[in-house]
């Protein structure tokens, strides 16, 4: 009988565990996650058989990481640093001379740990804009210097079976030989849609939560926003509203650049990118396709491909809505974690 080879992984910037959960599904043994946000501990540990360690990645040593890898046949270090420093908005802020964001250095800290630990495999995920940054080019150089084969790609999530038009830069690297990001599994004719993911959930009204699932709760809407959503069409914009419902910022020329705010999703298309503010009707196209409310946090989590029963907070504690929305919007979609896990598992040499 051939021995089942174990890949042990440590997930830096682990959040609520989207990436960890996806990797675990492919048989990679994620043993620990590091994050500075204590509010992520419950979700991370409750749903994944891995320990959450509240520590800043910049302070980690070689030993901190290596202690998790004992007994492993192969090792994986994952690091999905916060994406805000690389987003279009933050780059614009930087060009305008606004203050340097310390999070820019987090990718370098991850690189430094790779240099010290030399795991067999490495993966990272971030916003597409990172691909043009010096810090990413330096990261690639470092991987090449330490003998890694790399592949990276800007992934359009619907191409890999996610019902969300998120685009992410995904990198995988191996010291053991060639590694490639797999080819898409879906095409526009087979994309999963919002209906495929959330249609079966119980109906709730704005401001209401579902008795069986505290995460299936929708934000309250002001009287004017209730009137707005009633006139919003799936996939439409606020241009569909009568003049008296439009706000002053919509009437300004600049407002026209954000036509999808206060929009409704369409049942038969993937959702927009789920953000950390996805539970607010005014923050993007986060209106439910047919109910007069924003999507619930459960719906957002499911569109991020978290399993329906993923628990984000203890049942006996009051949920901190903003913190939960942040965890969900920040997560690597679980399915994307699976795509990464499959590539890594299939890059393990069989004749060990
Ligand atoms: C993009 S999110 C990661 C999402 C996570 N990988 C998932 O799949 O759910 C980035 C995370 O980095 C954490 N973070 C930010 N700065 C950090 C630091 N210096 N050390 C450790 N974690 C940090 C944030 O709290 C946040 O949870």
**pLDDT, tens digit (0-9, with 9 covering 90-100), for 284-300:** 889 999 999 999 999 99
Q: What is the mean pLDDT of residues 5-31?
A: 96
The CA–CA distances, whole Å, from 136 to 104, 106, 172 equal 10, 11, 13
Q: What is the CATH code for 7-90+97-188+332-346?
A: 3.40.50.150
The 10s digit of each residue's pLDDT in 168-222 is 999 999 999 999 999 999 999 999 999 999 999 999 999 999 999 999 999 999 9
Pairing verdict, β 29-35 and 74-79: unpaired
What is the predicted pLDDT for the residue at 351?
43
Lowest pLDDT segment from 63-72, 254-263, 324-333? 254-263
Question: Is the shortest distance between the CB of 338 and ligand 1 below 6 Å?
Answer: no
The structure tokens listed for 233 are 């069409």
Which superfamily is assigned to 194-330 in CATH?
A: DNA Methylase, subunit A, domain 2 (3.90.120.10)
**Measured between alpha carbons, how far is 37 from 330 in angstroms, rounded to an integer?**
12
Within 8 A by CB and 6+ apart from 309, the residues are: none
- Which residue's alpha carbon is at the smallest distance from atom 11 of ligand 1? 13
Q: What is the largest CA-CA distance in the chain?
A: 73
Supply the mean pLDDT for the chain.
90
Between the CA of 248 and the centroid of ligand 1 the distance, in Å, is 36
Q: Which one of 40, 80, 83, 278 is the catalytic residue?
A: 83
- Which residue's alpha carbon is at the smallest distance from atom 1 of ligand 1? 82
The answer, yes or no, to whether residue 249 has pLDDT greater than 70, is: no
How buried is 34 (Cβ within 10 angstroms: 0-12 exposed, 13-18 middle, 19+ buried)?
A: buried
Helix (H) or strand (E) run with residue 9 in it: strand 7-12
| Residue predicted with more confidence, 211 or 319 | 211
- Which residue's alpha carbon is at the smallest distance from atom 26 of ligand 1? 15
104 confidence band (pLDDT: 50, 70, 90): low
Q: What is the mean pLDDT of residues 308-324?
A: 91
Q: What percent of the chain has pLDDT over 90?
A: 76
Within 8 A by CB and 6+ apart from 182, the residues are: 339, 342, 343
Phi, psi of 313 (to 5 degrees): -155, 155
290 with 267: CB under 8 angstroms? Answer: yes
Domains in the chain: boundaries = 7-90+97-188+332-346, 194-330
What is the predicted pLDDT for the residue at 272?
95
DSSP secondary structure letter of residue 264: B
213 with 306: CB under 8 angstroms? Answer: no
Between the CA of 185 and the centroid of ligand 1 the distance, in Å, is 28
Question: Is the shortest distance between the CB of 332 and ligand 1 below 6 Å?
Answer: yes
232 with 263: CB under 8 angstroms? Answer: yes
The answer, yes or no, to whether residue 98 has pLDDT greater than 50, is: no
345 with 28: CB under 8 angstroms? Answer: yes
What is the predicted pLDDT for the residue at 345?
95
User: Rounded to a whole number, what is the distance in angstroms from the first to the last CA of the chain?
Assistant: 14
Hey, do 7-90+97-188+332-346 and 194-330 end up sharing a CATH topology, with the first three levels equal? no
Point out the ligand 1 atom lying closest to the alpha carbon of residue 15: 27
Q: What is the mean pLDDT of residues 273-278?
A: 94
The answer, yes or no, to whether residue 240 has pLDDT greater than 60, is: yes
- Smallest CA-to-CA distance from 9 within 60, 59, 49 is with 49
The 10s digit of each residue's pLDDT in 123-178 is 999 999 999 988 999 999 999 999 999 999 999 999 999 999 999 999 999 999 99
**Measured between alpha carbons, how far is 99 from 110 in angstroms, rounded to an integer?**
22
Between the CA of 304 and the centroid of ligand 1 the distance, in Å, is 16
Question: Is the shortest distance between the CB of 330 and ligand 1 below 6 Å?
Answer: yes
**Whether residue 249 lies in the annotated active site:** no
Count CA atoms within 13 Å of residue 156 on its CB side. 12
What is the predicted pLDDT for the residue at 318?
79
Question: Is the shortest distance between the CB of 60 and ligand 1 below 6 Å?
Answer: no
Q: What is the mean pLDDT of residues 85-99?
A: 51
Question: Is the shortest distance between the CB of 16 and ligand 1 below 6 Å?
Answer: yes
DSSP secondary structure letter of residue 201: S
What is the predicted pLDDT for the residue at 297?
96
3 confidence band (pLDDT: 50, 70, 90): low
The answer, yes or no, to whether residue 305 has pLDDT greater than 90, is: yes
Point out the ligand 1 atom lying closest to the alpha carbon of residue 17: 9
Question: Is the shortest distance between the CB of 14 and ligand 1 below 6 Å?
Answer: yes
The CA–CA distances, whole Å, from 342 to 56, 181, 296, 339 equal 28, 9, 30, 5
Within 8 A by CB and 6+ apart from 208, the residues are: 217, 218
> How many other CB atoms sit within 10 Å of the CB of residue 14?
29
88 with 120: CB under 8 angstroms? Answer: no
Question: Is the shortest distance between the CB of 80 and ligand 1 below 6 Å?
Answer: yes
């Amino acid at each position: 009988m051939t021995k089942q080879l174990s890949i042990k992984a440590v997930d830096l910037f682990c959040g609520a565990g989207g990436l960890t959960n996806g990797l675990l599904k492919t048989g990679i043994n994620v043993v620990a996650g590091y994050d500075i946000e204590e509010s992520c501990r419950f979700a991370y540990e409750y749903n994944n058989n891995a320990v959450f360690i509240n520590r800043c990645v910049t302070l980690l040593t070689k030993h901190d990481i290596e202690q998790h890898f004992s007994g492993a046949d192969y090792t994986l270090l994952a690091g999905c640093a916060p994406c805000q420093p690389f987003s279009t908005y933050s780059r614009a802020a930087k060009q305008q001379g606004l203050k340097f964001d310390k999070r820019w250095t987090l990718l370098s800290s991850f690189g430094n740990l790779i240099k010290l630990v030399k795991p067999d495999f490495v993966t990272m995920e971030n916003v597409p804009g990172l691909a043009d940054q010096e810090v990413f080019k330096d990261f690639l150089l470092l991987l090449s210097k330490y003998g890694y084969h790399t592949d990276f790609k800007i992934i359009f999530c619907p191409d890999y079976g996610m019902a969300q038009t998120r685009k992410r830069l995904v990198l995988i690297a191996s010291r053991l030989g060639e590694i490639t990001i797999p080819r898409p599994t879906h095409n526009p004719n087979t994309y999963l849609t919002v209906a495929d993911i959330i249609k079966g959930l119980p109906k709730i009204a704005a401001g209401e939560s579902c008795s069986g699932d505290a995460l299936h709760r929708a934000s309250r809407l002001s009287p004017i926003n209730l009137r707005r959503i009633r006139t919003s069409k799936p996939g439409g914009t606020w241009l569909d509203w009568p003049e008296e419902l439009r706000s002053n910022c919509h009437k300004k020329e600049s407002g026209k650049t954000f036509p999808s705010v206060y929009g409704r999703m369409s049942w038969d298309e993937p959702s927009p990118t789920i953000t950390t503010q996805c539970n607010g009707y005014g923050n993007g196209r986060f209106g439910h396709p047919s109910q007069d409310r924003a999507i619930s946090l459960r719906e957002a989590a499911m569109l991020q491909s978290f399993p329906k029963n993923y628990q984000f907070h203890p049942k006996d504690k009051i949920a901190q809505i903003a913190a939960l929305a942040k965890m969900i919007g920040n997560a690597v979609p679980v399915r994307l974690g699976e795509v990464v896990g499959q590539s890594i598992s299939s890059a393990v040499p069989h004749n060990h």
